[in-house]
C-alpha cells in the first residue's frame, strides 16, 4: 500500500442499469495530499443525505487502487447531483468508488508514460 501524493478535483455523473431500474448519482470531489485522513462534506443534499455512502465508496476505491487512506489524504465532497427517482445510497457509493478507481488509474497511466 502507498500514500496518496497529489491533488485531484473531479466531477462525475454516474448511471447504471441495475435489474429493472437505473441508479444515478453525480458528485464533485477534491482529493489532496495530507499527513492525516479526513473526509469533509460541503455538499447540499436535496433530500436524503448519502455522505457516508460517498465516504465508503471513496475509501474502498482508494484501497483497491493500493492507496492507504490512513497514511494521509484529505477528501472533500464539494457537490452532488441528485435524481429524485434514480438516486440512492447504492448509486452514490458506486459513483464515488468508480470515479476514484478510474481517476487513480488515469493518473498512474500518465506517470508510467512520462518515465
Lookup: cell for 55: 465516504
Round to whole Å and give the CA distance between 23 and 107: 27
pLDDT score of 93: 96
Span 55-73, mean pLDDT? 93
pLDDT score of 98: 92
pLDDT score of 106: 66
Tell me the CA distances in angstroms from 108 to 16, 22, 41, 55, one per residue in order.
26, 31, 26, 22
pLDDT score of 103: 79
pLDDT tens digits for 1-26? 888 888 889 999 999 888 888 899 99
Q: Is the pLDDT of residue 77 over 80?
A: yes
What is the β-pairing status of strands 37-41 and 7-18?
unpaired
Q: What is the pTM of this model?
A: 0.88
Q: Single out the residue of 43, 66, 46, 47 nearest to residue 55, CA to CA.
A: 43
Amino acid at each position: 500500500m502507498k500514500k496518496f501524493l497529489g491533488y485531484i478535483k473531479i466531477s462525475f455523473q454516474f448511471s447504471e442499469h441495475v435489474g429493472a431500474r437505473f441508479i444515478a448519482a453525480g458528485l464533485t470531489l477534491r482529493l489532496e495530499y495530507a499527513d492525516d485522513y479526513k473526509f469533509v462534506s460541503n455538499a447540499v443534499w436535496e433530500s436524503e443525505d448519502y455522505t457516508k455512502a460517498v465516504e465508503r465508496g471513496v475509501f474502498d476505491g482508494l484501497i483497491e487502487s493500493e492507496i492507504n487512506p490512513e497514511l494521509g489524504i484529505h477528501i472533500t465532497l464539494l457537490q452532488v447531483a441528485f435524481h429524485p427517482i434514480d438516486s440512492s445510497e447504492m448509486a452514490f457509493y458506486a459513483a464515488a468508488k468508480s470515479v476514484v478507481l478510474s481517476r487513480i488509474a488515469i493518473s498512474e497511466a500518465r506517470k508510467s508514460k512520462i518515465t
